[in-house]
Amino acid sequence: MISWMRLTACLLMIMFLLSGCWSRRELNDIAIAEGVGIDISDDGQFELTVQIVNPGSVTKSNGNSEVPIIVYSSKGVTLNEAVRRLTSSISRNIYFAHIRILVISEDLASKGIVKTMDYLMRGSEFRTDFDVVIARDSTAKDLLSVMTPLEKVPANYIFNSLEAAKKEWTSAVTIKLDQLSSGLVTAGKSSVVSGIQIIGDHTTGTSNNNINYTTPRVRLQYSGNAVFKKDKLVGWLNEKESRAYSVITNQSMRSSIHLICPDGGNIGIDIARVKSKIHAVIKNDKPEIFINTRTEGNVSDVECKINLFKTETIAYLDAQYVEFIKSNMEKTIKKTQQLGTDIYGFGEAVHRADPTYWNKVKDNWEQEFKQVEPHLNVIAKVRGTGTLGDSVVNDVKE
């Protein structure tokens, strides 16, 4: 009898284990969202925009004139209302687990994003590993409606171009939803989010014809970084300032600059590697911040008469290299001090150095941050001259 009971129990367990995926969703029953945009309307309601993949267009062969995405939007006093109301316009359930990009309008970011973040982090429908960007000088709805070249789905284009801008030019930064949410509640460091603009008339960009030109009439371009104080956007970093921010926070990868030759003309430097470290020391009951940066680059192009075989020439370039990096860092830090927002993590460095002192100043860190004069130690070296030793400009007879 006991053996039969054991056998029955084992069979019941096997039945439960082989019961299949109880929470499965068939592709024919869902609408896959690749991009989400959030605006704030004039009456104070949230406007949610969803970029849905058109499966018929994506799977068909070339020559298909059907648009690859469909953009839906709806309003609600809360974001949950907007999401639920959106279902009245779509014949399928929206599947949010494949989101690549979240676009927040500049207007909403200026008013505060804490309510937006609460819904996105609390809800089980959204993952938190997608990138966040700010729609600069436009709405998130307009931005997500622009058709883009190279990628059939514009959300993928926005995501891939952000990655390329960060790796090859360092003017853009990537921040995930969970990182942004953490930055809103972390004392001693504020958040920075990349801004993206519509270049051209956005109404023209909504047509599939926009990608049928060798030069698209309307395109998307990353333009500066939005600086936050708590949950509100308070200012923008331009291209130079954004690159300096990446250097200070050790997020810089590859980039390029140009230096001035002794007798005029330019010489290009391909920045190969950058390493930065921030630490703090408490002296006389005041915080001192030290930023140590080391960078190396190679000569990429020479547009002047210069002898690269001379050690004094390389020393001259190294000195200019240091001055360029240091000057941009100083200007960027001063700008953010005027905005009163510590985007570099100086406060975190103070906390690491002396937790007791940090507990005394953390509630007034904004004012303390404005008074800090960081010590910048920059070492910049030009290591290589490329496959050419001397410049061909030297051989050209005038």
Instruction: Note whether 270 and 342 are same-domain residues.
Output: yes
Last residue of a domain, one of 237, 271, 297: 237
The two tokens of residue 253 are: 């990868």
Does residue 384 have a pLDDT over 80? yes
Does residue 156 have a pLDDT over 90? yes
Instruction: Note whether 30 and 155 are same-domain residues.
Output: yes
Instruction: Note whether 167 and 115 are same-domain residues.
Output: yes
CA distances from 13 to 19, 24, 189 (A): 10, 21, 51
Question: Pairing relation of β-strands 30-40 and 46-53?
Answer: antiparallel
Instruction: Note whether 173 and 313 are same-domain residues.
Output: no
Instruction: Note whether 172 and 44 are same-domain residues.
Output: yes
| 20 in any annotated domain | no
CA distance 257 to 268: 6
pLDDT for residue 140: 97
pLDDT for residue 199: 95
Instruction: Note whether 155 and 232 are same-domain residues.
Output: yes
Instruction: Note whether 206 and 269 are same-domain residues.
Output: no
CA distance 124 to 170: 33
Instruction: Note whether 227 and 278 are same-domain residues.
Output: no
Comparing 110 with 20, the larger pLDDT belongs to 110
Instruction: Note whether 100 and 192 are same-domain residues.
Output: yes
Instruction: Note whether 125 and 227 are same-domain residues.
Output: yes
Q: What is the mean pLDDT of residues 210-217?
A: 86
Instruction: Note whether 307 and 338 are same-domain residues.
Output: yes
pLDDT in tens, 311-331: 999 999 999 999 999 999 999
Range of 39's domain? 26-237
Mean pLDDT across the chain: 89
Instruction: Note whether 280 and 337 are same-domain residues.
Output: yes
Does residue 24 have a pLDDT over 90? no
Write the burial class of residue 2 (CB in 10 Å: 0-12 exposed, 13-18 middle, 19+ buried). Answer: exposed
Last residue of a domain, one of 180, 212, 237: 237
pLDDT in tens, 160-201: 999 999 998 889 999 999 999 998 888 889 999 999 999 999
Q: What is the mean pLDDT of residues 216-241?
A: 95
